[in-house]
Each structure stands twice: as C-alpha cells, then as structure tokens.
C-alpha cells in the first residue's frame, strides 16, 4: 500500500546485512509473531514500515528495534521538518559531479559513502576505468595517465589527497579527472 511504501527507504539505505536480506516481507498483519534471526544482523537505520512485533522484541531483544508504523506518535510533518534540517546540514559536499577529460558525460558520487581517499580513488577508478598512480605529497600522482583533481569552495583547482579527508569533503564542490599531461603543474600549487 502506498502509505507503507512512503517509508520504504530500502533503495538508499545503509545496511550491514547480506544483499538479499530484506525487511520487505512484512505484508503480514501486525499481530503475527515473526521470529527472525535476520534481525540481529540487519542494521535498523531506517524509520520505515515494519509490522509491529511486540512479542518478538521481548524474546530476541535485538540491539536496535525495528521501527513501527506511527510510533512514536509524531506527525510526519514534524518528523520531516527536523530530519530535513539534519540532512541539509550534512549534505554540504555530499553529492558532487565528477567529470573525466574525454568522457562524454558526467557522473555524480556521494562523498559520504567513502571513509577516505583510498576508497574514493578506488571508486573513481572503477567508475571511469582508469588507474591512478601512487600519491605522494611531493610528487602528486606521478606516473599516472589520469590525475584526480577537484574544485574547492574558492573555485580553485586542487589535487585530490593534499588536505585531510574531513576538510576535503567539506570543501570539494566537484571532481575532475584530468589527463596526466595537463595536471603536471598542480603539484606546485600546494
């Protein structure tokens, strides 16, 4: 039903569960018992619609309880208002465009998905099918065909990796994967 789907954040949800484990199977009436040992595994981050399951909660006592429709009794308007603020505060620098010299169209990635530079670079390499060389503070990405760069808040073109990760996330406005030959001058900027 539509009103259940409103809370279905499966598509964007972060989970620890194995792919394929899902809370989706809850078309059941809320009074039925559901003893699921998947509960302990899946990360209950979503405030989505899961059938109320009071007995189950008491028996399995999972680390976090699945959220129940309409509980606690706060109107969605209020819930959404507070959540909007949280996510708006967190979206500073989250989704950035990524362009690659020579590629026909841009991509977009969510910087929050990555814990640090190694993961980010790996993701970019996979996405655009290229390899970066090893990064060093002195030499930048010496010896790579492509070099990851980014445009920061001030509009300057910077080399990815020079600043601490936290600072990078907050200041990165877009990413650009430049041809190695063009990027040579960037090492000297910092």
Partner 1 sequence: MSEDDERQRSPPSDLDFVSNKARNCNATGSGSGHPEFQSAYPDQVLENVLENVLHFLTSKRDRNAASLVCKSWYRVEALTRSELLIGNCYAVSPARVTARFARVRALHLKGKPRFADFNLMPPDWGAHFNPWALAMAKAYPWLEKVHLKRMSVTDDDLVALAELFLGFKELSLVCCDGFGTGGLAIFVNKCRQLKVLDLMESEVTDDDTDWISCFPEGESHLESLIFDCVECHINFEALERLVARSPSLKKLRLNRYVSIEQLYHLMIRAPQLTHLGTGSFSPPEIAGQGDQEPDYVNAFVACKSLVCLSGFREIIPDYLPAIYPVCANLTSLNFSYANITAEQLKPIISKCHKLQVFWVLDSICDEGLQAVAATCKELRELRVFPVDAREDSDGPVSDVGLRAISEGCWKLQSILYFCQRMTNAAVIAMSKNCPDLVVFRLCIMGRHRADHVTGEPMDDGFGAIVMNCKKLTRLAVSGLLTDKAFDYIGRHGKLLRTLSVAFAGDSDMGLKYVLEGCPKLQKLEIRDSPFGDAALCSGLHLYYNMRFLWMSSCSLTRHGCQEIARGMPHLVVEVIRSSDEEMDDAVEILYMYRSLEGPRTDAPKFVTIL
Select 37 or 58, whichever has its Cβ closest to partner 1: 58
Residue in this structure with the two tokens 């060093």, named with its chain if needed:
136
Given 16, 18, 61, 74, the residue binding partner 1 (CB under 8 A): 74
Contact string (CB under 8 A) for partner 1, positions 79-98, x = contact: x-xx--x--x----------
And the tokens for 67? 């959220």
What is the smallest separation between the CB atom of 154 and partner 1, expressed in angstroms? 14
Distance CA 95, CA 9 (A): 18
Contact by Cβ (8 Å): 93, 169:
yes
47 binds partner 1 (CB under 8 A): yes
Q: What number of CA atoms fall less than 13 Å from residue 42's CA on the CB side?
A: 20
What is the smallest separation between the CB atom of 114 and partner 1, expressed in angstroms? 25
Select 52 or 159, whichever has its Cβ closest to partner 1: 52
CB atoms under 10 Å from CB of 10, counted, come to: 13
Given 17, 21, 60, 68, the residue binding partner 1 (CB under 8 A): 68
Distance CA 146, CA 98 (A): 13
Distance CA 14, CA 25 (A): 18
- In the complex, the residues that contact partner 1 under the rule CB under 8 A are 1-4, 6-7, 27, 29-31, 44, 47, 49, 52, 54, 57-58, 64-65, 67-79, 81-82, 85, 88
């Amino acid at each position: 039903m539509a009103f259940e789907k409103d809370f279905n954040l499966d598509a964007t949800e972060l989970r620890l569960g194995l792919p394929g484990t899902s809370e989706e199977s809850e078309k059941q009436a809320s009074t039925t018992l559901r003893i699921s040992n998947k509960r302990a595994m899946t990360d209950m981050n979503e405030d989505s619609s899961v059938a109320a399951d009071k007995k189950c909660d008491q028996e399995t006592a999972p680390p976090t309880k699945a959220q129940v429709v309409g509980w606690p009794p706060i109107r969605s308007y209020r819930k959404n208002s507070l959540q909007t603020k949280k996510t708006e505060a967190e979206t500073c620098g989250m989704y950035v465009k990524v362009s690659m010299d020579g590629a026909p169209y841009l991509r977009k990635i969510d910087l929050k998905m990555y814990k640090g530079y190694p993961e980010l670079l790996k993701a970019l390499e996979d996405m655009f099918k290229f390899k970066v060389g090893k990064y060093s503070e002195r030499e930048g990405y010496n010896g790579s065909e492509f070099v990851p760069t980014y445009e920061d808040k001030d509009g300057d073109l910077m080399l990815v990796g020079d600043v601490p990760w936290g600072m990078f996330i907050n200041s990165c406005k877009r990413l650009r994967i430049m041809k190695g030959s063009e990027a040579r001058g960037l090492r000297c900027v910092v």
